[in-house]
Amino acid sequence: MSTFTETKTVDQITVTENGIVLYREATRILKDGEQIAQTFHRTSLTPAQDLTGQPANVVAICNAAWTAEVIAAYQAQVAQQGV
Amino acid sequence: MSQVIIAGDTSGTITLQAPAVSGSSVLTLPATTATLATLTTPSFTTTIGVGAATASASGSGISFPATQSASSNANTLDDYEEGTWTPGIQNSCGFSVGAVNSAIYTKIGNTVFIQTYYTLTGTGNSTAFTVSGLPFSVPSGVYCTGAADIGTGGVLGAYVRTESTNTYATFLYSGGGTTGSTSNGRQPLLANQMGAGYVIFSLVYSTS
């Protein structure tokens, strides 16, 4: 009998010039260890955004990228855009 | 000097083999009456992996690399991806996202298609209503718009627009005037102009 396994992995993390962190979570279905299906879910996080519930490796990157200067510059940009 | 062995048989099978490499590659011609010209319009019944992508085990089609291998050639399709994303609220407008009924995206080359349907909870205040969490960022100087359906309240003609170099989109409407966004021109849709119903919108935008 075949064994099916589901795994979830953050397989892409991108940091944009203004500090936005985008990541992709891949959900893979394995049959006897061989991948037979894969779906993606994407999330983007803006500087100073609440990181509750986010994957640990994403949180680590956010904390490294979101310096006080980056946060201030991003908030100034958003304010300039009128939001 | 390297050599390649080419062997054939009467069934239409041609075997190519490099002696220094284990294994061989086999080409099978469709019929003994066919010619090599048939291969100029090949037909595949399974998936094809490009850019070293592992061809999908299901269905038929083209499998792109999981991570885009960007091409600078304007005639080259270099990316395809579909999935779901997490819509959020960009600022403290009194609403939070309730149930996400759908939030899907498809990226083809440098163009992203998204469709979203989610409910709102809370009570809106006088802050502009924006959606955050777009699955890809928008390049500098690029603005794209889409249609929106505000479940309760809203303003006639409201639409959604991406913001440059960002991953959020603002809901706007025309103020009916011509003197700019700060007076009677384009206006942001405020959260207190909406009810805690649902938001549906679709959007096509560019990414880098």
- Give per-residue pLDDT as tens, B6-63: 777 776 666 666 665 555 555 555 555 545 555 566 777 888 888 888 888 888 899 9
**CB contact, 8 Å: A79 with chain B?**
no
Contact (CB, 8 A) for B194 and B128 = no
| Among A8-22, A62-76, B162-176, the least confident range | B162-176
* Long-range contacts at A20-23 (CB < 8 A, ≥ 24 apart): A20/A44, A20/A45, A20/A46, A20/A47, A20/A74, A20/B137, A20/B166, A20/B167, A21/A45, A21/A58, A21/A61, A21/A62, A21/A65, A22/B135, A22/B136, A22/B137, A22/B167, A23/A55, A23/A58
- Taking the alpha carbons at both ends of chain B, their separation in whole angstroms is 45
pLDDT of residue B85: 98
Decide if B38 is inside a domain: yes
* Domain's final residue, options B72, B101, B133: B72
In which element (H, E) is residue B96 found? strand B95-108
pLDDT of residue B33: 53
Is B41 in the same domain as B123?
no
**Interface with A, mutate which of B63, B167, B171, B189 (most A CBs under 10 A):** B167
Decide if B43 is inside a domain: yes
pLDDT of residue B143: 92
Is B155 in the same domain as B187?
yes
* Domain's final residue, options B47, B72, B97: B72
Å between A78 CA and nearest CA of chain B: 9
Distance CA B8, CA A78 (A): 67
Is B120 in the same domain as B147?
yes
- Rounded to 5 degrees, what are φ and ψ at B2? -80, 155
The pTM of the full predicted model, rounded to 2 decimals, is 0.81
- pLDDT, tens digit (0-9, with 9 covering 90-100), for B117-151: 999 999 999 999 999 999 999 999 999 999 999 98
Decide if B77 is inside a domain: no
- pLDDT, tens digit (0-9, with 9 covering 90-100), for A31-82: 998 888 889 999 999 999 999 999 999 999 999 999 999 999 999 998 888 7
**CB contact, 8 Å: A43 with chain B?**
yes
Question: Which of B58, B85, B90 comes nearest A83 by C-beta?
Answer: B90
Decide if B54 is inside a domain: yes
Q: Three-state SS for A61?
A: helix
Is B137 in the same domain as B64?
no
What six digits make up the tokens of B64? 């792109």
Q: Considering chain A, what percentage of its residues have pLDDT values greater than 90?
A: 82
More confident residue, B30 or B69: B69
pLDDT of residue B2: 58
Is B192 in the same domain as B157?
yes
Distance CA A75, CA A26 (A): 30
Is B111 in the same domain as B187?
yes
Contact (CB, 8 A) for A23 and B167 = no
Is B127 in the same domain as B179?
yes
Is B145 in the same domain as B47?
no
Q: Considering chain B, what percentage of its residues have pLDDT values greater than 90?
A: 54
Provide, as residue numbers in chain B, all residues whose Cβ is less than 8 Å from the Cβ of A77: 165-166
- pLDDT, tens digit (0-9, with 9 covering 90-100), for B78-121: 999 999 999 999 888 999 999 999 999 999 999 999 999 999 99
Place B206 in a pLDDT band, splitting at 50, 70 and 90: very high
- Taking the alpha carbons at both ends of chain A, their separation in whole angstroms is 56
Structural domain span for residue B31: 1-72
Q: Considering chain B, what percentage of its residues have pLDDT values greater than 70?
A: 79
Place B64 in a pLDDT band, splitting at 50, 70 and 90: very high
> CA angle, corner B10, sides to B9 and B15, nearest 5?
25
The pLDDT of residue B73 is above 70:
yes
Decide if B78 is inside a domain: no
* Domain's final residue, options B37, B72, B107: B72
Place B161 in a pLDDT band, splitting at 50, 70 and 90: very high
Is B49 in the same domain as B93?
no
pLDDT of residue B136: 97
Is B37 in the same domain as B130?
no
Question: Between chains, do B86 and A37 touch, taking CB under 8 Å as contact?
Answer: no
Is B49 in the same domain as B128?
no
pLDDT of residue B16: 65
Distance CA B32, CA B8 (A): 12
Q: Total domain count for chain B? A: 2
| Strand B186-188 versus strand B168-174 pairing type | antiparallel
* C-alpha dihedral (A8, A9, A12, A15), degrees to nearest 10: 100
**CB contact, 8 Å: A63 with chain B?**
no
